[in-house]
Amino acid sequence: MDASLYLAAALAGAAYTLTPGPAFLALLGIGAGQGRRAGFSFLAGHFAGDIIWGALALVAIIGSASLGTFVFDLLGVICGCYLMLLGWRAVTVKRTADGKLTTGIARPLRRGIAFGLTNPKSYAVAIAMFTALLAAHSAQLSWMSLPPLLLAACAGFIIGDAILLYVIGAAPVRRLYRRHELWVTRISGVIFLGFAVQALWQSVPGLLRRA
Residue (of 24, 21, 29, 19) closest to 195 by Cα position: 21
Instruction: Give me the amino acid identity at 30.
Output: I
Apex CA 174: angle with CA 165 and CA 45, to 5°?
Answer: 35
Q: What is the DSSP string of 6-41?
A: HHHHHHHHHHHHHS-SHHHHHHHHHHHHH-HHHHHH
Q: Residue 80: what pLDDT?
A: 75
pLDDT in tens, the chain (211 residues): 578 888 888 988 887 787 666 677 778 777 776 777 888 888 888 888 888 888 887 887 777 544 456 765 776 677 678 778 877 877 887 766 655 554 455 567 777 787 777 765 676 667 766 776 776 676 777 788 888 989 999 999 999 889 888 887 777 777 776 677 677 777 777 877 887 787 688 778 877 887 6
pLDDT of the residue at 1: 55
Residue 29: its pLDDT value, please?
73
Q: What is the pTM of this model?
A: 0.63
Q: What is the full DSSP assignment across 144-175?
A: GGHHHHHHHHHHHHHHHHHHHHHHHHSHHHHH
- Angle 22-34/146-169 helices, nearest 10 degrees? 40
Q: How far apart are CA 51 and CA 204, in angstroms?
A: 26
Asked whether the beta carbons of 89 and 26 are under 8 A apart, the reply is no
> Sign of dihedral through CA atoms 111, 117, 123, 126?
positive
Q: What is the pLDDT of residue 154?
A: 92
Separation between Cα atoms, residue 165 and residue 199, nearest integer Å: 27
What is the structure's pLDDT at 106?
Answer: 57
CA-CA-CA-CA torsion sign (4, 164, 60, 132): negative
Residues 6+ apart with CB under 8 A from 135: none
Q: Can you tell me the distance from the alpha carbon of 15 to that of 27, in angstroms, rounded to the nearest whole number?
A: 16
Residue type, 54: G
At position 162, the amino acid (one-letter code) is: A
